[in-house]
């Protein structure tokens, strides 16, 4: 049955499975010949389907699905639905995320107290899987800056965080070197590094074509540069979480050794139940702790995670409180319960922020290109307040605002930015909802209804619903 079994374990599998790139299996020295066989079989299986629920927008059809063991909000699906045709995805009620990468949830909960405030930098954040996960864990007064260096990807990141609906999440589009100038500004640094992507071979088969040992080395050099550029942004005793979706030791355990050679860091061990099927590994020279997800051992794709605590550097930078504008409270009162928010005005646009985060605006603006700051509530045009789409998706919006519940077909038409004709009791602004979750705004002018769904976010594909 296995004609090549007498050969070395690598030669055997390369012969058996031509679809894996040459030399790839040599990057898995930790797996025995038997395990390589299981690994190879798993590569032939379809990828696992999973998503993570938004705890601030609870109540989806997936709530009762099987839970991802290392993330309470993670859910497995038996098959892949047409997510685009589900308005709840657009409402930010869940995020479609690979299950293994949700291990970040366990890591963060074990390494920090999330009842207290943290300042977090998610350095390589698009499209937003890890950022939305962090946002769901952190306290209301914590601050998350999600950064993405590539402009087009940064816009998608901002869209996903707007849908997630929190005012303590900001987005920047900057080079890590720029953010490194924010010295000791963050006490948590998350680096989900660009990598060779071998962990996602069965989910994104095109990665098979790109993979070669030179590419792995190129990725490793880039990972080192990212550390060098951003290390100074982390405060003393700050937490660094490093992740890849690669199987290569060069990008994983060797990178941990590099970190311990170059910087003053302690490796942090996690407490992972054996039943989860996660493989604990150690780096060769410093014995730094890493955690590997292999698709033949658990329900998920390939993933690697390691945590460090910074020993040197300055304590977290403190800033003097800044006074918030109170003059716009009148415009915002109809939309928001009196609560903990400040209003920042720029060019007639009103942004909702946690009052303590106002102080962070100036230093961050001096080193980065901010594309989302808190929640863009809307703009003032003379005496009128025009609500923005981001406000509709904010989880803290009053729940007795004028609204209309749409059926699936009309909800999709709304998301396609088509003209819709719901029955409305009076003129003015209405929230449109699907299964009780806000999708955006419409305005009833009496003779017509204007659809305020953002043109950039609209669903482009037509006929996405099965015929009734």
| Residues in contact with ligand SAM by the rule CB under 6 A | 124-130, 148-150, 153, 176, 192, 194, 222, 226
Starting at the edge strand found earlier in the chain, the sheet holding 428-434 runs 403-405, 428-434, 437-444, 449-451
H helices within 68-119, ranges in order? 87-90, 103-111
Q: In angstroms, what is the minimal distance from the CB of 412 to ligand SAM?
A: 25
CA angle 152, 157, 161 (to 5 degrees): 150
To ligand SAM, the closest distance from the beta carbon of 286 in angstroms equals 24
Compare residues 162 and 444 and give the one whose CB is closer to ligand SAM: 162
Measured from the CB atom, the residue of 147 and 235 that comes closer to ligand SAM is 147
Report the nearest approach of ligand SAM to the CB of residue 154 (Å): 9
Give the DSSP H/E element, type plus range, for residue 112: none
Helices (H), ranges, 82-212: 87-90, 103-111, 129-137, 151-164, 176-179, 206-210
With beta carbons less than 8 A apart as the criterion, state whether 321 and 327 touch: no
259 vs 442, beta carbon nearer ligand SAM: 259
164 versus 328: smaller Cβ distance to ligand SAM: 164
Nearer to ligand SAM, 116 or 150 (CB): 150
Q: Which is nearer to ligand SAM, 7 or 153 (CB)?
A: 153
Question: Nearest approach, Cβ of 164 to ligand SAM (angstroms)?
Answer: 12
- Residue 125: CB minimum distance to ligand SAM, A: 5
Pair of tokens at residue 279: 């493989």
As measured in angstroms, the least distance from the Cβ of 157 to ligand SAM is: 8
Q: Indicate the residue among 149 and 260 with the shorter CB distance to ligand SAM.
A: 149
Place of tokens 């690979």: 98
> What is the enclosing helix (H) or strand (E) of 302?
none
CA-CA distance, 102 to 100, in Å (whole number)?
5
Rounded Cα gap, residues 454 and 155, in angstroms: 13
d(CA 289, CA 305): 9
> Which residue's CB is nearer to ligand SAM, number 5 or number 150?
150
189 vs 410 by CB, closer to ligand SAM: 189
- Residue number with CB closer to ligand SAM (133 or 386): 133
Q: Rounded to an integer, what distance in angstroms lies between the CA atom of residue 361 and that of residue 145?
A: 11
For residue 178, the minimal CB distance to ligand SAM (Å) is 11
**DSSP H or E stretch at residue 202:** none
Closest approach, Cβ 179 to ligand SAM, in A, equals: 9
Q: Work out how close the CB of 127 gets to ligand SAM at its nearest, in angstroms, rounded to a whole number.
A: 5
Cα 350 versus chain centre, distance:
25
Residue 20: enclosing H or E segment and its boundaries? none
C-beta of residue 143 within 8 angstroms of C-beta of residue 357: yes
CB of 425 to ligand SAM, least distance (A): 41
Q: Please, what is the minimum distance in Å from the beta carbon of residue 200 to ligand SAM?
A: 9
Q: For residues 192 and 251, which CB has a smaller minimum distance to ligand SAM in the complex? A: 192
Q: How many CA atoms lie within 13 A of 86 on its CB side?
A: 14
Distance CA 351, CA 366 (A): 18
Long-range contacts, 320-326 (Cβ 8 Å, 24+): 320/359, 321/355, 321/356, 321/358, 321/359, 322/358, 322/359, 322/361, 324/355, 324/358
């Amino acid at each position: 049955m296995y004609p090549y079994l007498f050969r070395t374990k690598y030669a055997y599998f390369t012969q058996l499975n031509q679809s894996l790139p040459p030399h790839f299996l040599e990057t898995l020295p930790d797996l025995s010949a038997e395990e390589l066989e299981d690994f190879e079989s798993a590569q032939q299986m379809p990828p696992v389907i999973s998503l993570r629920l938004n705890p601030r927008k609870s109540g989806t059809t997936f709530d009762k699905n099987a839970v991802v063991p290392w993330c309470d909000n993670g859910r497995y699906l038996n098959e892949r639905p047409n997510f685009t045709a589900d308005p709840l995805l657009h409402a930010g009620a869940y995020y479609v995320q690979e299950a293994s990468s949700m291990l970040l949830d366990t890591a963060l909960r074990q390494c920090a107290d999330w009842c207290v405030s943290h300042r977090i930098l998610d350095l390589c954040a698009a499209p937003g899987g890890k950022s939305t996960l962090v946002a769901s864990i952190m306290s209301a007064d914590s601050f998350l800056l999600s950064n993405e260096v590539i402009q087009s990807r940064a816009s998608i990141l901002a869209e996903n965080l707007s849908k997630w609906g929190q005012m303590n999440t900001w987005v920047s589009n900057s080079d890590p070197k720029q953010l490194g100038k924010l010295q000791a500004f963050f006490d948590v640094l998350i680096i989900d590094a660009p990598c060779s992507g071998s962990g996602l071979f069965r989910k994104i088969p095109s990665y098979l074509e790109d993979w070669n040992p030179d590419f792995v080395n190129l990725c490793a050099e880039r990972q080192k540069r990212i550390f060098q550029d951003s290390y100074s942004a982390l405060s003393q005793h700050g937490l660094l979480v490093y992740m890849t979706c690669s199987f290569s030791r060069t990008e994983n355990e060797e990178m941990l050794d590099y970190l311990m050679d170059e910087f003053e860091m302690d490796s942090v061990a996690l407490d992972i139940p054996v039943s989860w099927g996660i493989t604990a590994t150690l780096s060769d020279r410093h014995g730094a702790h890493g955690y590997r997800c292999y698709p033949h051992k658990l329900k998920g794709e390939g993933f690697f995670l390691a945590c460090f605590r910074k020993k040197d550097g300055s304590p977290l930078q403190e800033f003097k409180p800044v006074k918030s504008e109170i003059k716009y409270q009148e415009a915002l009162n109809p939309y928001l319960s009196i609560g903990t928010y400040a209003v920042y005005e720029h060019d007639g646009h009103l942004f909702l922020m946690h009052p303590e985060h106002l102080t962070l605006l100036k230093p961050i603006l001096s080193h980065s290109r901010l594309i989302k700051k808190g929640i863009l509530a809307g703009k003032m045009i003379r005496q009128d307040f025009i609500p923005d789409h981001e406000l509709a998706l904010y989880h803290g919006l009053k729940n007795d605002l004028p609204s209309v519940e749409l059926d699936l077909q009309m909800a999709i038409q709304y998301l396609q930015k088509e003209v819709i004709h719901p029955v409305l009791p009076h003129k003015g602004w209405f929230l449109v909802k699907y299964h009780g979750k806000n999708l955006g705004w419409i305005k009833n002018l009496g003779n017509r209804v204007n659809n305020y769904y953002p043109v950039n976010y609209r669903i482009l594909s037509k006929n996405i619903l099965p015929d009734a």
